[in-house]
Structure 1
Amino acid sequence: MCLLDRERESSEEIHHFKMKLLSVIILLLAIAAAYYIYIPLPSTICEPWKLMVLDATFRAVVKMGDVAHALGLSHSVHVINSAIISFESLVPITHKEIRIEDILFDGIRVRVYHPPGQEGKLRRAVMFIHGELGSYDSLCRQMSADLDAVVVTVDYRMAPEVHFPVQYEECVQAAEYFLRPEVLAQFSVDPERVAIGTDNSTSVKFKLQVLIYPVLQALDFNTASYQQNQDVPILYRRLMARFWLEYLGADPELVNPIMMNNHTALDQIQLSQNLAKLNWTNLLPKQLKKHYKPVFPSTGSPNILKDVPGLLDARAAPLLAEDEVLRKAPRAYVMTGEHDVLRDDGMMYARRLELAGVSVTNEHYQDGFHGCVTFAFWPCHFSVGIRVVQNYIMWLDKYL
């Protein structure tokens, strides 16, 4: 009996040790996960803990992309895009009554969303430009249903396969094709009621333009919003600089120089006119300037602008457009988020449009962050995303 008792006690001790070890491992993993997930966020940002978890996932995807790229397995952009598409596939399909058609507009792949009923009736239309066929599917379905409108998304080719100006040219090509009288008639669209919704802009004439936290310039990566939100998810300042270089087909090693504004140093005399167009000390509301100051080094890297001419091209950076071009722009809706590095891009563009005599609605969300519209439909939806979508569609319904 004593031997059995000792064996039993020994077995229990081993069991307790294993349980303690398992508890320690779980605790360490929990601490590691919490350490990875937690980042300090502004108190006014929407649902911060939910955003931390989302951001941790996105950061992991970006790191996976970088590793795959370094090993020569896949381009980092492909990894990021594949992950986003996979996440979007988890979103339940809504408004199943909307008919979807994948066709070509002058050789460019597009997806057309048709609302049901009343065939032959002239409808409103929204051309939504973002890239990746099927991306923003829920938003396009909701726009089509709520506005009783034809919605067209453009599947223009993207980096790394092609670089600027291919993306711009394909969007313009598709838009010009859609606005042909015979094409509008084919889709029963009223030619006087067509809007463009995008995170950029084109030169084609529409009744309205709708820009959702748009990226509009790459000459100043130290605007007030870039400084304030450089470490706020999900679009970090460094990541935005990387995306710009990829879009323009530039050397990725330039990321640090352009983040320091070496390409727009004070010794770059040819930039004086362009910098005046995005002088956030003049174009931004006073309450947004806070304690931030412009960052333009006295001497810089002149070869950057020579090697990457797209940085000065208004087709890539509409904020650099001349006043006479802006005066021809349609009524605009510009959505900005307080906690977005691109906040000031949108606000400066809205102000330049106003100064050019264009009617502008700048809807600013104090709890908004970049990408919040995407998360208006995900299972882990954010309330600010839902509000943005509702207000955006209400504005379109009023003016389109």
Structure 2
Amino acid sequence: MRASCVLFTTLVALAAYYVYIPLPGSVTDPWKLMMLDAVFRGTQQVSNLIHFLGLGHHMLVLNFIIVSFGHKRAWSTAQVKVTDTDFDGVEVRVFEGSTGPEEPLKRGIIYIHGGGWALASAKIKYYDELCIVMAEELNAVIISIEYRLVPKVFFPAQVEDVVRSTNYFLQPEVLKKYSVDPSRVAVSGDSAGGNLAAALVQQFHQDPSLRSKIKLQALVYPVLQALDFNTPSYQQNANTPILPRHVMIKYWVEYLQGSQDFVEALIVNNHTSLDVEEATALRARLNWTSLLPTSITRDYKPVQPASGNARILQEMPQLLDVRSAPLLADQKVLRHLPKTYILTCEHDILRDDGIMYAKRLESAGVDVTLDHFEDGFHGCMIFTSWPTDFSVGIRTRNSYFKWLDQNL
């Protein structure tokens, strides 16, 4: 009996040691976040072990687990019709809000899910529920794109998928089929989906024939650049759940089909050191000492090694491609972009990506709303139902919906 108690106590202590991580005092629901992070870390470690044993690619294994536990079939509700189809060969899930007699045409929102270009799905619980509520509350048609993922495809295939499916949706006959007002269409996405949404809108607004077809863009904690992995938010939140810096960099390397041997060099910005000529012209577009407010920059210094590893950009030039890093776009591209909403969270390595993009867009004359949450963390907006119901998740979602309702 005594031995059993000792074993039980030891197991509890080990579990508590694994779950507990120090968090800033302003983080919402800290113990719940620790539990969520522990589950995600554990799943990643299992996936890495399976990869090490040669039994499957770790991203495929990790996504299989995520989708298996969260998959939802296309289930319509009394207010929202849900169907799975394809737009020009790209799978999509369509959510159609009911049309009232006072408004025969609905708003249209193209939604692009997050997941590091490698994980999640339009068909998992979190995104399915988000889009159902969005369609119902906004009386809108939501097109949630099931773009192809790493490691089956790599950049720029994901960009091509969202561009192709959006082009299909914007055809007059398709908009008519779904009773969507062609003057009220938005593009939106979170995290890596925010990255793809920003790239999509930039491409559309460089084409005069397509420029007027997107009324606005709404980006939720988007990942927008790979030039500098030592912005203040990358330094401040390097080990903050659920997206620590080394994990984000691994997603970048996987997306661009690079070598994982480069990860440690990327962490210290060796790919854009002062002697790497390819990065010189782009640094001015991402000078965070001028793009970020002093309240953020005062405790941090730029990390710019005098010499680094030029081979990284030789093998992964896409790190500085504006289709993968929309924050690096030229000002003449930015000035044509539509009204923009950007949601950022304090406890997120990507916080400064969003703030800097808002600043660059504003300088280009774009109407921008920056919606910042001091107690938010990366990914929080999709965590609104038990057991991963966070108060900040509900508040971010409501704020995002409110802006869409008022502006679309």
Structure-2-length-normalised TM-score: 0.90
For each residue in 1:35-72, what CA deviation from the matched residue of structure 2 results, as whole angstroms up to 9, or x when unmatched? Answer: 10111000011111111111111100110111111111
Partner of 2:57: 75
- Cα RMSD between the aligned structures? 1.7
Query: Which one of the candidate residues 273, 282, 300 is aligned to 2:281?
Result: 273
Deviation at 1:279, TM superposition (A): 1.3
For each residue in 1:58-98, what CA deviation from the matched residue of structure 2 results, as whole angstroms up to 9, or x when unmatched? Answer: 1001101111111111211122222322443599x895531
Query: Which one of the candidate residues 384, 388, 391 is aligned to 1:380?
Result: 388
> 1-side partners of 2:371 and 2:77: how far apart?
26
> 1-side partners of 2:16 and 2:387: how far apart?
22
Identity score, percent = 48
Partner of 2:183: 192
Query: Which one of the candidate residues 232, 238, 252 is aligned to 2:260?
Result: 252
Is the Cα contact below 8 Å between 1:213 and 1:370 reproduced in 2? yes
Deviation at 1:104, TM superposition (A): 1.4
> 1-side partners of 2:78 and 2:316: how far apart?
45
Structure-1-length-normalised TM-score: 0.92
Deviation at 1:179, TM superposition (A): 1.0
> 1-side partners of 2:7 and 2:21: how far apart?
23
Partner of 1:166: 157
Is the Cα contact below 8 Å between 1:277 and 1:320 reproduced in 2? yes
Partner of 1:328: 336
Partner AA of 2:349 in structure 1: V
Is the Cα contact below 8 Å between 1:61 and 1:79 reproduced in 2? no
For each residue in 1:174-225, what CA deviation from the matched residue of structure 2 results, as whole angstroms up to 9, or x when unmatched? Answer: 1111111121111110010000111122122410100000000111111100
> 1-side partners of 2:341 and 2:77: how far apart?
25
Deviation at 1:171, TM superposition (A): 0.6
Q: Equivalent residue of 1:158, what SS?
A: coil
Q: Equivalent residue of 2:355, what SS?
A: helix
Deviates further, 358-367 or 131-140 = 131-140
Partner AA of 1:97 in structure 2: Q
Partner of 1:146: 137
Is the Cα contact below 8 Å between 2:71 and 2:123 reproduced in 1? no
Partner of 1:13: none
Deviates further, 116-125 or 177-186 = 116-125
Cα distance, 1:113–1:94 mapped onto 2, change above 3 Å: closer
> 1-side partners of 2:278 and 2:307: how far apart?
14
Partner of 1:134: 123
Deviates further, 269-278 or 164-173 = 269-278
Task: Number of aligned residue pairs: give it.
Answer: 381
Deviation at 1:397, TM superposition (A): 0.2
Is the Cα contact below 8 Å between 1:94 and 1:138 reproduced in 2? no
Deviates further, 195-204 or 364-373 = 195-204
> 2-side partners of 1:297 and 1:96: how far apart?
58
> 2-side partners of 1:118 and 1:224: how far apart?
47
Q: Equivalent residue of 2:95, what SS?
A: strand
> 1-side partners of 2:328 and 2:58: how far apart?
29
Is the Cα contact below 8 Å between 1:138 and 1:377 reproduced in 2? no
Query: Which one of the candidate residues 44, 68, 80 is aligned to 1:98?
Result: 80
Q: Which runs of 5+ in 1 are unaligned?
A: 1-18
> 1-side partners of 2:65 and 2:80: how far apart?
26
Q: Which runs of 5+ in 2 are unaligned?
A: 115-120, 205-210
For each residue in 1:125-146, what CA deviation from the matched residue of structure 2 results, as whole angstroms up to 9, or x when unmatched? Answer: 1000126231411110011000
Q: Does 1:53 align with 2:42?
A: no
Deviation at 1:296, TM superposition (A): 1.1
Partner of 2:358: 350
Partner of 1:43: 25
Partner AA of 2:58 in structure 1: S
Partner of 1:15: none
Q: Equivalent residue of 2:151, what SS?
A: coil
Matches of residues 384-395 of structure 1 in structure 2 within 5 Å? Answer: 384-395=392-403
Query: Which one of the candidate residues 226, 238, 242 is aligned to 2:250?
Result: 242
Q: Equivalent residue of 2:392, what SS?
A: helix
Partner AA of 2:223 in structure 1: V
Q: Equivalent residue of 1:376, what SS?
A: coil
Deviates further, 102-111 or 126-135 = 126-135
Cα distance, 1:157–1:90 mapped onto 2, change above 3 Å: closer
Partner of 2:11: 29
Matches of residues 206-245 of structure 1 in structure 2 within 5 Å? Answer: 206-245=214-253
Cα distance, 1:293–1:107 mapped onto 2, change above 3 Å: same
> 1-side partners of 2:72 and 2:28: how far apart?
22
> 2-side partners of 1:290 and 1:302: how far apart?
30
Deviation at 1:379, TM superposition (A): 2.6
The structure number with the bigger radius of gyration is 1
Partner of 2:319: 311
Q: Which runs of 4+ in 1 moved over 6 A?
A: none
For each residue in 1:8-53, what CA deviation from the matched residue of structure 2 results, as whole angstroms up to 9, or x when unmatched? Answer: xxxxxxxxxxx21111111101110111011100001111111111
Is the Cα contact below 8 Å between 1:334 and 1:361 reproduced in 2? yes
For each residue in 1:245-273, what CA deviation from the matched residue of structure 2 results, as whole angstroms up to 9, or x when unmatched? Answer: 01111111111111111000001133122
Q: Equivalent residue of 1:373, what SS?
A: helix
Partner of 2:302: 294
